[in-house]
Structure 1
């Protein structure tokens, strides 16, 4: 279903973004904003469904690493602090002194579990408290291993007894007015079980709810958690020199979108509707690069790329796969076959497309892009920028962490990038561009990793 879901989203999101820079009429802008907002909401639903499908298909692996429970709890509190403050709630973190400083857990999955549970607590609690507790299981503790008990408790609306039995089932909602897919708790339960744990709920309507998790036989670590995650994506404004690109995709809207991306460039696009046409046109025009959709009629992208790589005339032409698959395993499969030189995930964004193409297609220096050669020391950042990072952008960060809507994450990342360009801060530019790249590729794990490193980024900048 990934392909069927992402193909129409490719058109909706891509063309909406293009229109956003063209429309000036306020009424039309409002219409477009509604389309973009609907697209973002739909992406959230798609991501929930794909998360669950990956779990059910056994496509998610638990990857334990040294984790500080205190750091994760503090981070969760920080993420929801804005909404908690708005609702005038009390947020309590209580970690038993018996809890070892560092445990071996899958940090990304643990964070996802807590985000779901605390997010629900904040959503359904209008007054009172939300509390996260952690303690060691009473019957199992040693210097090397322990049972870990985590509870998330709120004084919210509670859950009716008849609904408690099915609350972890997919697509179940008791209060439709709060929105959502009804998949958050289903995903949470599956992740807990994958981490050798159990989860249960205790609730009284009108009084509140308690979700209790027990992770069994958790290893105790002497190694400190790894807190600094490197930024890996370099990006620059790219201007292409004259080049010919062959675009093979059976869906017209996909081709129209990519052609629109190149309207103001020196790139010439040749179109093919299937793999057979792609081979014929590639031999005829000898393009500088080929963009190849994987799923096409007559001859699919795999076979077309294989034949091209076995063709003396075409074997040196770079071929980039276009895939609607959300599974990292499928992407690895694409690259392992050896027929492709790169890949792009749908919905395709202009920046990701240009970044990937710049690896193979000749570019010319863009006068606008001077920031990459500017290196400044952290302590030389202007006071105005420091205040923005700690106040204005911190509030935005809290909001996007709470909503986890990809469009909002992109907007936040773009503001960071623009601030970096304005103040010639390379580290902010890299941070913003990497986060944008992961969000547009729907890479949930890397989005979480980069997004949640923002407070650490500020600390590093202040520390110099």
Structure 2
């Protein structure tokens, strides 16, 4: 199942990722509808894969909980917003009532709580033709310990209801109520089975009250939930989660043997101030790392010749590269070795990669841009990573002279030829050579030049590429003037 999940997630990564990239580009209404249908169907397929795998992991005793500071009110609001549009489309009233005394943060497995609510609220809307669906919560403080609460969550609907005979096995896997037409409602019967098992793992209970043709009430009770007094989460959530320019311009190495996966990451970083390097396998990743010393590495686990685990081990054992943060990006949903992997990486992103997930990981690994860092003065630009880059970005005359010398050599060895032939492979190698120089000599006009040329290459803009190639001579002259 784990291998199957990996193989399915790899193409799903491309489908969902490029759909996300297309959304702001598609303006025609009918095309937008088609795109939304692709996205919705892809998410449904991915949800089915996740459900099957989750159930198998639970039954095998392989699913582990991850309690962390969790914002209860935010989760309820997110679930409400997710289903509001669907409820309105059906003419339903979706209501939410939250206890005013709910703590800001509790220690809970946020992912699994969202999964429980998503399953039950989704079912409530699916099986309700008219009336209301209500999400409510209340809490009481533990008399023995004021740092713990007893949490109760209720999901009530006015739907088709569940008969007494069905209530005994409605939480069994692949089981659906007799009143549920699979053709009409769809579904696999996995949602409630997973929900019950998750609630049991967390230490909670489920109570079901229902009457045919009148509706259902699911009551979840979680005793002794610890209150968290952490404030870290709130500060992280204030940061934008869709803008990669919130970080200082950084050099990021993307290691993946699948072309579509590399292109997806390239798409996410398009029109940002960051520089991307690419490697197709583990051996190439190590060569690129020692040539360029990137600020961060996005590393796939499964690759030919040398897998991601071997690459990470090699880089962490070297004094030259052990400080470079590694984020493992993988389609594998088997995290049985997660504790081992934590010793050789600084974060995980699971495919299909969403830009919001990627940014959440990067927020703890890359320095914020100066616009977000109020402690920095406008004229005080620090290196992206002082350990990697031993030169100040604001170049001294000596370093500027060194840059001029290397650009002049590059002009002689590469630029003269490619400005005449304009072969795409030569142009791409030229860009890589320039990128290597920006790692050592951060010169803003050169960075801007590279970004313009990269963007034109990505768009196959052969009207502009020859002109930009010729402008390299002007760039060289401007460096020479500054040196003089």
- Classify the TM-score, shorter chain: 0.5 to 0.7
Change (3 A) 1:252 1:182: same
* Kept in 1: contact 2:249–2:369 (CA 8 A): no
Residue 178 of structure 1 corresponds to which residue in structure 2?
185
Number of aligned positions between the proteins: 353
Change (3 A) 1:293 1:373: same
Report 1:252-263 matches (<5 A).
252-263=259-270
Pick one of 27, 40, 45 that aligns with 1:42: 45
d(CA) in 2 for partners of 1:90 and 1:22? Answer: 32
Q: Is 2:289 the partner of 1:305? A: no
SS of the residue corresponding to residue 278 of structure 1 reads helix
Pick one of 16, 21, 45 that aligns with 2:19: 16
d(CA) in 2 for partners of 1:252 and 1:107? Answer: 34
Residue 193 of structure 1 corresponds to which residue in structure 2?
200
Deviation at 1:171, TM superposition (A): 3.0
Residue 434 of structure 2 corresponds to which residue in structure 1?
none
Question: Alignment RMSD, CA only?
Answer: 5.5
SS of the residue corresponding to residue 234 of structure 2 reads coil
Q: Is 2:353 the partner of 1:348? A: yes
Change (3 A) 1:257 1:213: closer
Deviation at 1:78, TM superposition (A): 10
Change (3 A) 1:181 1:280: same
SS of the residue corresponding to residue 59 of structure 1 reads coil
* Kept in 1: contact 2:96–2:135 (CA 8 A): yes
* Kept in 1: contact 2:254–2:277 (CA 8 A): yes
Structure 2 gap ranges (5+): 376-484
Residue 30 of structure 1 corresponds to which residue in structure 2?
33
d(CA) in 2 for partners of 1:33 and 1:186? Answer: 29
d(CA) in 2 for partners of 1:175 and 1:44? Answer: 20
Residue 61 of structure 1 corresponds to which residue in structure 2?
65
Report 1:37-436 matches (<5 A).
37-49=40-52, 51-53=54-56, 55-56=58-59, 57-61=61-65, 83=87, 113=116, 116-117=119-120, 120-126=123-129, 155-160=158-163, 163-173=166-176, 174-176=180-182, 177-196=184-203, 199=206, 201=208, 203-209=210-216, 211=218, 218=223, 230-233=234-237, 234-235=239-240, 238=245, 245-264=252-271, 269-283=276-290, 285-289=291-295, 290-311=297-318, 314-325=321-332, 333-337=340-344, 340-350=345-355, 353=358
d(CA) in 1 for partners of 2:158 and 2:41? Answer: 32
d(CA) in 2 for partners of 1:322 and 1:212? Answer: 37
Deviations 1:291-338 (A, max 9, x none): 32112222111111212233455445443322335578755542323x
Deviation at 1:58, TM superposition (A): 4.5
SS of the residue corresponding to residue 320 of structure 1 reads strand
Deviation at 1:358, TM superposition (A): 8.2
d(CA) in 2 for partners of 1:175 and 1:116? Answer: 18
Q: Which has the higher contact order (CA 8 A, sep 6+)?
A: 1
Pick one of 6, 17, 22 that aligns with 1:3: 6
Q: Which piece of structure 1 moves more, 182-191 or 25-34? A: 25-34
SS of the residue corresponding to residue 231 of structure 1 reads helix
Structure 1 gap ranges (5+): 136-141, 375-464
Change (3 A) 1:34 1:27: same
Change (3 A) 1:149 1:16: closer
Compare CA radii of gyration and give the structure with the larger one: 2
d(CA) in 1 for partners of 2:71 and 2:364? Answer: 36
d(CA) in 2 for partners of 1:360 and 1:270? Answer: 18
SS of the residue corresponding to residue 159 of structure 2 reads coil
Deviation at 1:231, TM superposition (A): 3.3
* Kept in 2: contact 1:238–1:354 (CA 8 A): no
TM-score normalised by L of structure 1: 0.55
